[in-house]
Amino acid sequence: MLKHMVSDNVMKKIALSFDVEEFDLPREFNSDIDDEEMYQISYYGCKKLLNLLDVPATFFVTANFAKKYPKLIKEISEKNEIGLHADEHKDNYEDMSCDEANEKLTKAKKEIEKIINKKIKGFRAPRFYPPDYKLLKKLGFEYDSSLNPCFIPGRYNNMFKKRKIHFNEGLKVIPASVYPVIRFPMTFLCFRFFNRFSLVYEKIGTVLNKEYVIMVLHPWDFMDLRKFKIPFFIKKNSGEVMYGVFKDYIKWCKNKGYGFTTMEKF
Ligand SMILES: [Zn+2]
């Protein structure tokens, strides 16, 4: 009886997180996209996402995007957590001096806090390349979520980094969820890479993560990206397929009795 009560009380938590940014991916692959379209992709992606999202989530926003659409960000902040996703999405802290990073992050954090009228606690770096944790802590961040603890060819190999929530330089680090042991990623691409089988893939990963699941997605996942000159696996099944799989995933989590939470609550 006691065992039954205890297991009922331990509810798995799902933290959905979305990186809200100017869509500069084509530029990363040496193809052009005009400034206006770069913002609109994420703006309309947000609109689609908000249309289906009826659970709380965390949105990591660039200051650039927030200044362009302050009303939208304010609206999102009413039911969700807002974190910082850099000043500009092209910011790369590996090429930046500590002084420059300090200046840009201080400015960006203040600008978004002014829009939402709340303190920002969380940070996620563009492309998962975080600045110095000591700097983030000094700037008042409580956690960083710029770690995808798996191997992404051409990007990073984090196979041997910690998979669970931990502290580094006094800052709480909340890694994206992966499959335990084999470390298959569970981020945005996996939600659509395997067509309808993507849902099964995400369900298995969610079951295997016993206490909580941290999902990393983007509003632009919900837009049709086929016309852009970016690698096929990034544009594959964007838009409608993604929308369907993600909607079914939320429904499945609810049926399983999992709770949804924002990342600041960890
Ligand atoms: Zn990003």
| CA atoms of 115 and 162, how far apart (whole Å) | 34
pLDDT of residue 195: 86
Structure tokens at 29: 């692959």
* 212 strand-pairing partners: 13
Structure tokens at 207: 């079951």
Centroid of ligand 1 to alpha carbon of 126 (angstroms): 4
pLDDT of residue 196: 77
Residue 6 — very low, low, confident or very high, per pLDDT cuts 50/70/90?
Answer: very low
Looking at the chain, list the stretches that DSSP marks H as alpha helix, in order from N- to C-terminal side.
2-9, 25-28, 35-52, 63-68, 70-79, 98-116, 133-138, 190-193, 197-208, 232-235, 240-255
Percent of the chain with pLDDT over 90: 93
Contact (CB, 8 A) for 16 and 260: yes
pLDDT of residue 4: 47
Centroid of ligand 1 to alpha carbon of 61 (angstroms): 9
**Ramachandran assignment for 30, one of left (phi > 0), alpha (psi -120 to 50 degrees), beta (any other):** left
Domains of the chain, each with CATH number or no CATH: 12-265 (3.20.20.370)
pLDDT of residue 120: 98
Contact (CB, 8 A) for 19 and 25: no
Centroid of ligand 1 to alpha carbon of 63 (angstroms): 12
What's the gap between Cα 117 and its chain centre? Answer: 22
- Report the SS3 class of residue 197: helix
Centroid of ligand 1 to alpha carbon of 18 (angstroms): 9
- Report the SS3 class of residue 204: helix
- pLDDT, tens only, 80-113: 999 999 999 999 999 999 999 999 999 999 999 9
| CA atoms of 48 and 168, how far apart (whole Å) | 36
Centroid of ligand 1 to alpha carbon of 211 (angstroms): 26
pLDDT of residue 153: 86
- Which of 163-172, 191-200, 252-261 is predicted with the least confidence, judged by mean pLDDT? 191-200
* 82 strand-pairing partners: 59
- What is the phi/psi pair of residue 115, to 5°? -70, -45
Question: Position of tokens 């996209």?
Answer: 33
Contact (CB, 8 A) for 89 and 25: no
Centroid of ligand 1 to alpha carbon of 218 (angstroms): 8
Structure tokens at 259: 């709770």
Q: Is 227 exposed, middle or buried (0-12, 13-18, 19+ CB in 10 A)?
A: exposed
The conformation of residue 176, written as its DSSP 8-state character, comes to P
- pLDDT, tens only, 217-262: 999 999 999 999 999 999 999 999 999 999 999 999 999 999 999 9
| CA atoms of 175 and 212, how far apart (whole Å) | 11
Centroid of ligand 1 to alpha carbon of 221 (angstroms): 12
pLDDT of residue 2: 47
| CA atoms of 193 and 184, how far apart (whole Å) | 13
| CA atoms of 20 and 198, how far apart (whole Å) | 23
- Which of 4-13, 18-27, 95-104, 224-233 is predicted with the least confidence, judged by mean pLDDT? 4-13
Centroid of ligand 1 to alpha carbon of 257 (angstroms): 30
Residue 9 — very low, low, confident or very high, per pLDDT cuts 50/70/90?
Answer: very low
